[in-house]
Amino acid sequence: NAGVTQTPKFRILKIGQSMTLQCAQDMNHNYMYWYRQDPGMGLKLIYYSVGAGITDKGEVPNGYNVSRSTTEDFPLRLELAAPSQTSVYFCASSPNLGGAEAFFGQGTRLTVV
Amino acid sequence: AQKITQTQPGMFVQEKEAVTLDCTYDTSDQSYGLFWYKQPSSGEMIFLIYQGSYDEQNATEGRYSLNFQKARKSANLVISASQLGDSAMYFCAMGPNQGAQKLVFGQGTRLTINP
């Protein structure tokens, strides 16, 4: 069981560069999420999706874009990287059940220099 | 807006003792869910336990139990018979009782178990 798979695990970007963080899940979950975790802090929701073709903003969406063309994949795009986007990024998914837990990927550690 | 507060930045406990990690929350919603996640030093997020706002009994999962006091808006995690492997960051989170689990997390408590 792969669960939620994120790539890459680590990345260093220069200011102004762009990149896409990949996320794939094999559990056929409707809901998928992107969170960021700054040092010493809890996770904050960036974007989420309730199904293919449907996405919505979370608490901290500025500087990011997402798309959901399939149930399995939910990539996160950074267009113009800034030092404030240095963080650990977690992708997660959950089924359409009341109170169901979210399953998290291993995280992507991104540093913008 | 929902808010989670964890007031203990760090906790130190002797192995085999029980430990309580505090969590208070604020919401105007009548229906909500409360979650606890564990984050070891390796960084992954591990689900521990869930409590729905309408659940009358406190949730339990093995050595983990959730002390839910709705009137006080608290959802403390109790770990019985702590083990060295329990050393980690612990996050309390809140979300809806159904649908997309758009979670709001607290800042976390770092638990260290001493041998």
Rounded Cα distance between B25 and B16, Å, is 29
Reply yes or no on whether the pLDDT at A93 is more than 80.
yes
Nearest to B44 among A43, A102, A104 (CB): A104
pLDDT at position A80 is: 94
pLDDT at position A1 is: 65
What letters, b where the CB count within 10 A reaches 16 and e where it falls short, cover A57-84?
ebebbeebebbbeebbebbbebeebeee
pLDDT at position B12 is: 97
- Cβ–Cβ < 8 Å for A96, A9: no
Average pLDDT, chain B: 94
Query: How large a percentage of chain B has pLDDT more than 70?
Result: 100
Average pLDDT over residues B77-106: 93
Kindly report the number of other CB atoms within 10 A of residue B63's CB atom: 14
pLDDT at position B110 is: 97
Q: How many CB pairs under 8 A join A and B?
A: 66
- Tell me how close the Cα of B19 comes to any Cα of chain A, in angstroms: 21
CB A101 to CB B93 under 8 A? Answer: no
CB A42 to CB B106 under 8 A? Answer: yes
Q: How far is CA A94 from the centre of its chain?
A: 13
CB A102 to CB B101 under 8 A? Answer: yes
Average pLDDT over residues B77-96: 96
pLDDT at position A61 is: 97
Average pLDDT over residues A13-18: 97
Reply yes or no on whether the pLDDT at A96 is more than 90.
no
Rounded Cα distance between B78 and B60, Å, is 9
Nearest chain A alpha carbon to B106: A42
Rounded Cα distance between B91 and B107, Å, is 7
Angstrom distances, CA of residue A105 to CA of A8, A23, A32, B75, B80: 11, 8, 11, 25, 28
